[in-house]
Each structure stands twice: as C-alpha cells, then as structure tokens.
Amino acid sequence: MIIRPAVESDLPALMRLLLADRATLSDELPPDSDCYLHALREMQDSGVSCTYVAVADEAVVGTFMLTFLRHLMRRGSRVAIVEAVRVDSAHRGRGLGTEMMRWAIGESRRRGCSVLQLTSNLARKDAHRFYQRLGFRGTHLGMKLSLS
Amino acid sequence: MIIRPAVESDLPALMRLLLADRATLSDELPPDSDCYLHALREMQDSGVSCTYVAVADEAVVGTFMLTFLRHLMRRGSRVAIVEAVRVDSAHRGRGLGTEMMRWAIGESRRRGCSVLQLTSNLARKDAHRFYQRLGFRGTHLGMKLSLS
C-alpha cells in the first residue's frame, strides 16, 4: 500500500469513499459533479490542506485529509488536523487505518507540528478507541453550527 | 467595540490574553518572544487563518482566530473553524463574547462557509452552554495527540 496526495483521476473512487459514510452524508451531489473537482484542485494547490489516498493494487482503498495551521499558542508552532478519514469497507480489519494514521502522525512531525488533532462523532465509540490506541486523548467537545 | 484583524502592535496585549488561560497554557515563552511575532505575521499573511482582536477604548479586550478551509464534502464548500477565543476577565459578563461570535458567524457566512466549528474543553460546561445558545450543537469528541 502506498499513500500519496490525491489527483483528479482519483476523484470518482475518492468521492465514493467519502459519500458512503452515512453519518456525515448531507445533501451531496453525484460524485462527478464539478464542485468536487474544483474543491480538490483548490485544496491540493493550497499548501495548507491536502487530501491523501491509500492505494493498493491500483485501487483507492482509503483516504484522509491533513491541514497544517500556524497558531500563536504553543510557541507559535503549527497544529495539524486530520479529517475525512475513510477506509473502504471491503478492506477493513487489516490495519489499513492504523497505517494511514501512523503516516499522518509522521507527516505532522516532519512539518514541525506540536499537536495533531481531530474530531470524531460522539456516537462512534469504536473510532474513539482506535484513536486512543494511537495515543490520542479525548479532551474536547466538538461543536458545529450549520450555516446553510 | 470594533473587531479587526490583529496587527503587530497588538501582540503584547493579545499574548497576555492568550497566555492568561491556564487550561491551555503549556510551556510558553515571554509574550514578546520572536516566535509569536513570526507566527502572527505568517497567519495574517496566509489568507487562510486570521487572528482578530476586539478593541474597546483603544484596549484589546478580546480575541479569536478564524480559519477557512476548502473541503470536498458538503458540495466542496468551505468550513470555518473558530479557535483561541478569549475575553479579558475584566470585561466578562457584558455580552462581548456573544458579539465576537456573532461577528465570526457573519464573516463565515460572507465567505460562503457551510458550517462553523470549534472545540471546547470537555470540562467547560459553561462554555458549551454559551455556544449552544448561539446555535452550536455538541456532536463530536475532540481528540489530540501531542507531538512535542
């Protein structure tokens, strides 16, 4: 398995992975809609966020998004955020998610980040245990305000 | 009160506000350390994140940081994150925090964001109620991995 930044040709498989997750599905468009292409281009060109894909046997089997933000606190260090973590349901239970997160942790260290953070739906106790095993500690309440 | 992006001359007051918060204080340097100046410059020039100050009678009485990130989900829309929200203890109870957050909500709408999100320490029940009154819903567990 390799992990690399997503490119435009990954988009159909990538969007299928993202849109398969019913917990966050909300009024989305078909995976080949222009809005996703434009968003991917902007993100991958930003230098701030990047969507990565995990590829095995030439198929996209996982994805996650990493963002690196300069903060004032923690001596003006960078903070990394990981989001939109998905593993293809046909490939779960093989340690793929762990491998992806270890890669994300390594990349965050390489970029000099003082902390890697994420939010996970309160109902997903199995996901919380997964992240706890990797060393994450659940210390905050994640709150959202819908603007649409 | 006015709200505007922080500039370098705000830094002493701004850092005093940020470093007064013992819940997130961790091995910081004196407020006039170069690391904070460099971080502020990078942030304010990034076009992605911005630290704002609330100013009353020419004094910095509050601060918050806003970040706007392009995502693939939600039709490729932007997501706004608000962090590092502080109100000077001498100015609490006057609705200043509400005014700052209403400004942040308005700015997030102006930038076309589909959602505004934040994390708040699990122990801060009063902060959770504050954000709930503004319409935020606590749906996620915020998890952190220290890399330093």
pLDDT tens series, chain A, 148 aa: 999 999 999 999 999 999 886 655 567 888 888 999 999 999 999 999 999 999 999 999 999 999 999 999 999 999 999 999 999 999 988 999 999 999 999 999 999 999 999 999 999 999 999 999 999 999 999 999 999 8
Q: Which helix (H) or strand (E) holds A69?
A: strand A59-70
Q: Which helix (H) or strand (E) holds A41?
A: helix A34-45
A142:B33 CB<8 A: no
User: Which residues on chain A are in Cβ contact (under 8 Å) with B109?
Assistant: 147
* Residues B73-126 pLDDT 10s: 989 999 999 999 999 999 988 999 999 999 999 999 999 999 999 999 999 999
pTM of the model: 0.94
Q: B93: distance to nearest CA of chain A, Å?
A: 22
B105:A145 CB<8 A: yes
Asked if the B2-133 domain carries CATH number 3.40.630.30, the reply is: yes
So what's the pLDDT on residue A25? Answer: 57
Residue B21 pLDDT class (50, 70, 90 cuts): low
Indicate the range of B17-26, B27-36, B54-63 predicted with least confidence: B17-26
Are B11 and B109 within 8 A, CB to CB?
no
SS3 track for chain B: CEEEECCHHHHHHHHHHHHCCCCCCCCCCCCCCHHHHHHHHHHHHCCCEEEEEEEECCEEEEEEEEEEEECCHHHHCEEEEEEEEEECHHHCCCCHHHHHHHHHHHHHHHCCEEEEEEEEECCCHHHHHHHHHCCCEEEEEEEEEECC
Average pLDDT over residues B34-47: 96
ipTM: 0.94
Say if residue B25's pLDDT is above 60. no
User: Which residues on chain B are in Cβ contact (under 8 Å) with A43?
Assistant: 70-72
Domain boundaries, chain A: 2-133
